[in-house]
Amino acid sequence: AEGPKRLDVASTFSTQNFLGAGGVRLSEELEKATGGAVSLRVHEPGDLVPAFEVFNSVSSGAVQAGWDWIGYWAGTVPITNLYGALPFGPTPEAFMSWMWSGEGTELLQKAYDPYGVKVLPCFISPQETGGWYNKEINTPEDFDGLSMRISGLGAKVLNRLGASTQLVPGGEIYLALERGRVDATEFSVPQVDAAMGFDEVAEYYYFPGWHQSASWFSLIINQQVWDQYSDERKAQFETACRATLQWAMAEAPPEQVRTIRSLEEKGVKVKRFPDEVISALQDAWVEVRQEEMDNNPAFAEAYKSLMEHVALIDEWYELQALPDPKPVEGDS
Amino acid sequence: MPQPRLAPWRERGAAVCAALARPLVGLGLVVGRITSWLVLLVMLAVLTTVTLNALGINEIARWENDILLFGNALTINSMTELQWHLFGILTLLGGTYALHHDTHVRVDLIYQKLSPRGRAIIDILGHLLMLIPFCLLIAWLSKHFVTMSYISNEQSNYGGLTDRYLIKAMLPLGLVFLALGALGQILNNLAGLFDPARLIEPSDKKEPLHG
Amino acid sequence: MAEFMAEYALAIAMVVALLAGIFTGYPVAFLLGGLGIAFAFIGDIPIPFLGTVGSRIFGGVVENWLMIAIPLFVFMGLMLERSGVARRLLLTLQRLFGRTPGGLAISVAILGVVMAASTGIIGASVVMLGLLALPVMMKQGYRAEMACGVIAASGTLGILIPPSIMLVLMGSILQVSVGALFKAALFPGLLLGVLYVAYLLITARIKPDWAPLADPDAHDADTTPLALALLRDLLGPVLLITAVLGSIMAGIATPTEAAAIGALGSLLLALVMRSLDFQTLRDAVRETSRTSAMILFVVIGATCFSVVFKRLGGDYMIEEMITGTGLGPYGLLLLIMGLIFVLGFFLEWIEISFVVLPLVAPVVELLDFGFGLSGQALLVWFAILVAINLQTSFLTPPFGYALFYLKGITEGQIGIGTIYRSIIPFVLLQLIGLALCIAFPALVLWLPGLMP
Ligand code: NA
Ligand code: NA
């Protein structure tokens, strides 16, 4: 039997923003690749099930497929923290290399197998930002007592520096930040953050996003549904997926800088964490990482594999490094 | 002159139904009364969160061995998540409590003009065709949702509570509990159909409202 | 038309069954859930799909942190009622309005506006206001229609007047500034409040027996000079409202958390007033539990109904109704408004926002109404019109959830028919408010500085 011609996909993001739009793009690519034989119907978050329920609904077969940020499932599959938000992780390019030429996808699939979920990593968002702050961060001590909305491994790192990291639902972040119930929040890339209106209620926009150097999004499909497709169809899914990833990698970075410029025009102060702060964060991360690797063998395996792979790439680029291009005459 | 008001089989039927209904309704009421107090705990949990945030405290305590639900630390996010855990139990079990007090909203334009017998029939049919199938089917289908949470040892990704399956299991439990409550109501209404004297007038029904 | 009916036969049948079903008097919450299941079988939907319902209940109700405000605000309302604090406040407020006919009802409307600024949860505000004011108004001989109407209408203002979760959600769906939406919603929200008060003033003058003044004897009984009485009776509640609003403003609490501060405050207030004993507390928590469950089970039932409704093509049906016409800008705007109004009969505002707004936003953005609005300004204006409309949908029979919640706390003393009748004038006022905002966009766009 041939699988469904129209897959119902529960998205964890509104298709009105860049993250959810990735799902729509994937559908277009899939229609092209299959000559219109298969398409996706991307449902808005909450339309079928609430965002946080997507993984488990795909697993049970209540929903055929989902479009997700991989890190959402860390409560269930702890290894996904590595794919969704790995502090001080590799660049998107290096990460992609591990996903497709290394063990990345394989290890993720292995973690999803017990739940009957097929995963196709299809989209990467560029490095997120360091977050929106209403307090200046000049020294690592400034994190002490800071209340920030942030989850996952990044939160554990901040906890070590004395920050109170907490959970504020998406709809209340704006007000919580405006009123000072939290001093800071991280959310996503500038393009998405800007749509949330955080520029109206936060003074500083910090970089770099140390807590998340690249984050993966994927199409997840109920295994039984996936198995109904022929090998040819499966290959077409992969093709559409890679085309979507390429689109995301090409499209995103310049758009973020354009967004940052327009935010600056609105009066947002764009800042970088001082080196001393970044170094303290990294030290704290080393401790968190050790704890994570001790407690979670699957995480340790994936992390080591990723780092070995990244080391090869780094070595190649170091060998080949060239100085920055000299400015064209006439440029200021 | 004492009136032989009912055929014996009707009297017997009414008595049997009422006897069967009593424990079901009683259980719903007792559990509802106990869980009602959770609203004060929800309030305390929220106030604790607010206080901890104002003081900039993230971790209240940390200990060696994992304990149920709390893992090995009590943090501000444990308190935040405790809020909705308690709220979830309050709501899911409160549904049955509200059922026994007839608090669930009815559009009573026609209903209030019906005879007690007519109302009993509507409630019996409604519970049998609407409420009980809803509760049992959704409870059954949430089996995967609970077992998956248990097998994966699902927990907070914010350093909050562990053992997420406990609150997830409250969903099917609460729904089955509501179905049992509905069964109790059906039996009560059947008793009323056998023996109309047992059909409680709305004014009598109000009596335990503040009790 | 016939083709349309055939294609969406099941979705239409579902709505018809719901309408027929609610008039049997069987509880609405259970009917919504049961019909969802029944139509899943009739429509031959694969059973595993209904697994979404459990997830929706868990994610939408249990794990939904915002819903925690419901029991807390309900408890606050009950404590204020039981401790007699609310009654005295309302009576003194009424004295403040002197011999103004309808003074008590006007006090309720003002209280509604103040509460709207602290919460945005409709179920909680309606129930709290109802618990506070309904017994007082009925005791004073108000016509039930008058009392219920003002409570339900004022109780729904919270979703429009900022802070409002609905506006935050709309901001992210329409990609417009939440701050601009908050500013834009303020005047329309207050305008509706003013319309209510004007209506109450006029009605009380024309029909004095609908809104009788307090028994003069009762007034004489309270010989405290007005200023002192005000100080005495206002102090507690004002402190309480200040604590709730103040804790949000000062950044101590989110609006959800402020509900807990209000609940604690009402408890302390009752303690100070020496009206807190074990039995009062026990009764209050028990009633809180039942009333909150009543509200939340309507949400639980509706979530089952709507996921099946959409699966049967209900959302495509809506899409077709909007896009399949060849109307001009105002025609299209009115059609969209009408459609949202009707959808509000049986869908939750969250779902309407997610289903309808993304469909119509691109269309609306391109409409030219002839007064040179930018695309953003147009969307802000449109969002506020939708917001007023959705607020109204809570009030429109037969599926006005605000009406259900109010009905839920009357303990059978007031029939739904009375409540339906009570709301008619207020729905008309809502429509007048909506029409004014359509006719004069400046009402919406002036404050956020978006008027060209
Ligand atoms: Na509000
Ligand atoms: Na309505």
pLDDT tens digits for range C173-196 = 787 777 788 889 999 999 999 999
Which candidate in C62, C177, C181 is best for mutational testing of the A interface (most A CBs within 10 A)? C177
pLDDT greater at residue A229 or residue B204: A229
Chain A residues 85-114 with a CB less than 8 Å from chain B: 114
Give the percent of chain A with pLDDT over 90. 72
Q: What is the pLDDT of residue C113?
A: 85
The pLDDT tens digits for C75-119 are: 988 888 788 777 777 777 767 765 778 888 888 898 888 778 766
- Mean pLDDT along residues B9-38: 95
The pLDDT tens digits for C253-282 are: 887 788 899 899 999 989 988 888 999 999
The pLDDT tens digits for B100-153 are: 999 888 887 888 889 999 999 999 999 999 999 999 999 999 999 999 999 999
Q: What is the pLDDT of residue C216?
A: 55
The owner of tokens 């004038």 is C425
Q: What is the DSSP letter of B199?
A: S
Q: Measure CA of the first residue to CA of the last residue in chain B; give whole Å.
A: 38
The packing angle between helices C416-439 and C401-409, to 10°, is 140
Contact A179 C172 (CB under 8 A): no
The pLDDT tens digits for B74-104 are: 988 899 999 999 999 999 999 999 999 998 8
Residue A141 reports pLDDT greater than 60: yes
Q: What is the pLDDT of residue C120?
A: 64
Taking the CA atoms of residue B157, residue B162, residue B165 and residue B171 in that order, the dihedral angle to the nearest 10 degrees is -80
The pLDDT tens digits for A258-272 are: 999 999 998 999 999
The pLDDT tens digits for A65-102 are: 999 999 999 989 999 999 999 999 999 999 999 999 99
Q: What is the pLDDT of residue B24?
A: 96
- Considering CB atoms only, which of A50, A61, A179 is closest to C55? A50
- Mean pLDDT along residues C407-419: 86
- Mean pLDDT along residues C137-166: 87
Q: What is the pLDDT of residue B163?
A: 94
The size of the B-C interface in CB pairs under 8 A is 225
Q: What is the pLDDT of residue B23?
A: 96
pLDDT greater at residue A99 or residue C245: A99
Q: SS3 for A237? A: helix
Q: Measured in angstroms, how far is the CA atom of residue C163 from the centroid of ligand 1?
A: 4
Contact B91 C286 (CB under 8 A): no
| Minimum CA–CA partner of B151 in chain A | A76
Peptide bond just before C135 cis, omega within 30 deg: no
The pLDDT tens digits for A168-207 are: 766 678 878 888 889 999 988 898 888 778 888 899 999 9
What sign does the dihedral C399-C400-C403-C409 (CA atoms) show? positive
Q: What is the pLDDT of residue B210?
A: 33
Give this prediction's pTM.
Answer: 0.88
Q: What is the pLDDT of residue C222?
A: 62
Residue C451 reports pLDDT greater than 70: yes
Q: SS3 for A52? A: helix
Residues near C267 by Cβ (< 8 Å), separated by ≥ 6? C79, C276, C281
The pLDDT tens digits for C27-58 are: 989 999 999 999 999 999 999 999 999 999 99
Q: Measured in angstroms, how far is the CA atom of residue C391 from the centroid of ligand 2?
A: 9
Return d(Cα C244, Cα B103) in angstroms, integer: 28
Q: Which ligand is nearest to the CA of C156?
A: 1
Neighbouring subunits of C (3+ Cβ pairs under 8 A): A, B
How confident is residue B206, by pLDDT bands cut at 50, 70 and 90?
very low
Residue C298 reports pLDDT greater than 60: yes
Residue A116 reports pLDDT greater than 90: yes
* Mean pLDDT of the residues in chain B: 89
pLDDT greater at residue A252 or residue C34: C34
Contact status, residue A206 vs residue A143, Cβ threshold 8 Å = no
Return d(Cα B111, Cα B103) in angstroms, integer: 15
A62 touches chain B (CB under 8 A): yes
How confident is residue C171, by pLDDT bands cut at 50, 70 and 90?
confident
Q: SS3 for A3? A: coil
In Å, how far is A305's CA from the nearest CA of chain C?
Answer: 35
- Mean pLDDT along residues A270-285: 96
Token pair listed for A280: 């303290």
ipTM for the predicted complex comes to 0.90
Residue B207 reports pLDDT greater than 50: no
How confident is residue C219, by pLDDT bands cut at 50, 70 and 90?
low
Residues of B in contact with C25 (CB under 8 A): 106-112, 114, 119, 122
Report the candidate in B183, B134, A52 with the shortest Cα–Cα distance to residue C297. B134
Residue C440 reports pLDDT greater than 70: yes
Q: What is the pLDDT of residue B2?
A: 55
Residue B208 reports pLDDT greater than 60: no
Q: What is the DSSP track for A261-284?
A: HHHHHTT-EEEE--HHHHHHHHHH
Residue A327 reports pLDDT greater than 70: yes
Residue C310 reports pLDDT greater than 50: yes
* Mean pLDDT of the residues in chain A: 92
In Å, how far is A72's CA from the nearest CA of chain C?
Answer: 14
Q: Which ligand is nearest to the CA of C404?
A: 2
Residues near C158 by Cβ (< 8 Å), separated by ≥ 6? C112, C115, C116, C118, C119, C120, C121, C122, C125, C164
Residue A1 reports pLDDT greater than 70: no
Q: What is the pLDDT of residue B209?
A: 34
- Mean pLDDT along residues A20-46: 94
Q: What is the pLDDT of residue C364?
A: 80
Beta strands of chain A (E only): which ranges?
A: 6-11, 39-43, 65-69, 117-125, 131-133, 147-149, 164-166, 184-185, 204-207, 215-222, 269-272
Residue B202 reports pLDDT greater than 50: no
Q: What is the pLDDT of residue C93?
A: 73
Q: Is C447 exposed, middle or buried (0-12, 13-18, 19+ CB in 10 A)?
A: middle
Return d(Cα B126, Cα B104) in angstroms, integer: 13
* Mean pLDDT of the residues in chain C: 85
pLDDT greater at residue A66 or residue C213: A66
pLDDT greater at residue C95 or residue B41: B41
The pLDDT tens digits for C230-243 are: 787 778 877 887 88
Residue B205 reports pLDDT greater than 50: no
Beta bridge partner(s), residue A216 = A124
